[in-house]
Amino acid sequence: MPEIIFAVAVVLLLIVLLVMQFKQPARAAQMLEQQHRAMLTDLHDGLNKQGDRLIAAQAAESERLRAAVSEELRATRDAIGALRTEMLGQMLEKLAEQGRADQKLIQESFNNASQHLRNSIETLSKTVDGRLEQIGGKVNERLDEGFKKTNETFISVMARLATIDEAQKKIDGLTTNMVSLQELLGDKRSRGAFGEVQLEGLVRNIMPPQSYEMQYTLPNGTRADCVLKLPEPTGMVAVDSKFPLENYHRMFDAASPAEKSAAEKQFRADIRKHVDDIGSKYIIPEVTSDGAVMFVPAEAVFAEIHAHHPDVVDYAMQRRVWIVSPTTLMAVLNTARAVMKDVETRKQVHIIKDELGKLGKEFGRFDERMKKLADHIRQAHEDAQDVHTTSQKISKRFISIEQVELEHPTALPPQI
């Protein structure tokens, strides 16, 4: 304030001097000019000193203002820090409460899901175990029945084979005690009866009762010595006994080659006639099989036909007539019995196959349900992993906040 008064006084003095200059003469003007210069010099020095004092005062005032502003800023910073600490504390407390509530909810949900999965797995396991036990019991029952029938059949076959062996031994003993087959079978009727009895004995000892019939009358009115009722596609096979013995003995009893040749020729003619009779009478389309069996009761006659008359055998094969002896007929019957046994076994296999098919469907359902259960378990595992990842992030964020490691202290924490 004194500086301003001084400046006003100086200005007034200058004005007075200027007025006086215009009123006095030149000398006075000269003196005034000198005084004026001296005054201006003093004024200039005073102004310089005043400027220095103003600069010093301004610097002091600036320093005072700077200190005051610094004090205010420090107080404001302290207030903001206290407010931030309080807000962070409240926010941390809320986040902690929310995190605990979320963790509790997640744990309860996971426990409920785990308990539900355990109950579902236990129920499914009990159902599957019960079903498997039931199916296993049925399969075992079927298999036991099949094995029992197979064992019974095998025992029956062995018993019949033993009976056949005994009968063969008796036949061998009877043949040994015979004087001659020619004396025993002197006429055709006796030979026919002998062949039929031997055929019936072989068939009865090997085949089950329901698989054959003796003296069966065909739809065309002819009567076969025996028919074998075999499974399809073979069907019914007729067996007829033929015993061409007369010309057979003539071949071996001939006195000359001409008589032997004639006997052989007649023997072949007899065989051909028997083949034609069997082929025309006992092969009926849509009724019997496409072939028939000619039973020759004597092994020697059968051997003679196959060893020395292959043309007759070929002719019989062309007419679909199979020539057999007692030994080969046993093989044919055993084969037929094996076929029947195989058919019965196939029937059992079909039942087992049906059961296995049902079991396969059940296992298909089981596999689908297991896949669904695996998907649920996988989804629950993925959800648990996500929850665990989120929990780790929350825990890390808690630790970071507790250690005051926020990247932007004044900013709110990001949402998780």
Looking at the structure, tell me whether residues 254 and 195 fall in a common domain: yes
Q: What span, in angstroms and rounded, lies between the C-alpha atoms of 152 and 341?
A: 11
Tell me the two tokens of residue 341.
Answer: 């046994």
Whether 124 is in a domain gets the answer no
Looking at the structure, tell me whether residues 317 and 209 fall in a common domain: yes
What pLDDT score was predicted for residue 352?
73
CA distances (Å), origin 14, targets 50, 68, 121 = 18, 42, 115
Looking at the structure, tell me whether residues 145 and 216 fall in a common domain: yes
Q: How many residues does the chain have?
A: 416
What pLDDT score was predicted for residue 78?
81
Position 130 pLDDT exceeds 60: yes
What pLDDT score was predicted for residue 412?
47
Whether 213 is in a domain gets the answer yes
Whether 103 is in a domain gets the answer no
Q: Where among 337, 356, 375 does a domain terminate?
A: 356
What pLDDT score was predicted for residue 189?
63
Whether 311 is in a domain gets the answer yes
Looking at the structure, tell me whether residues 341 and 275 fall in a common domain: yes
Whether 178 is in a domain gets the answer yes
The proportion of the chain whose per-residue pLDDT surpasses 90, expressed as a percent, equals 0
328: containing domain: 138-356
Looking at the structure, tell me whether residues 239 and 162 fall in a common domain: yes
Looking at the structure, tell me whether residues 71 and 152 fall in a common domain: no
The proportion of the chain whose per-residue pLDDT surpasses 70, expressed as a percent, equals 80
Tell me the two tokens of residue 358.
Answer: 């049902």
What pLDDT score was predicted for residue 411?
47
Report the predicted TM-score, pTM, of the whole model to 2 decimal places.
Answer: 0.41
Whether 414 is in a domain gets the answer no
Position 212 pLDDT exceeds 80: yes
Position 406 pLDDT exceeds 50: no
- Write the CB contacts of 349 (distance below 8 Å, at least 6 apart in sequence): none
What pLDDT score was predicted for residue 416?
44
Instruction: Annotate 337-373 with DSSP letters as a single string.
Output: HHHHHHHHHHHHHHHHHHHHHHHHHHHHHHHHHHHHH
Whether 229 is in a domain gets the answer yes
What pLDDT score was predicted for residue 27?
64
Read off the pLDDT band of 172 (50, 70, 90).
low
What pLDDT score was predicted for residue 17?
64
Give the model confidence (pLDDT) of 15-69 as tens digits.
666 656 555 555 666 776 777 777 778 777 777 787 778 888 878 888 888 888 8
Whether 114 is in a domain gets the answer no
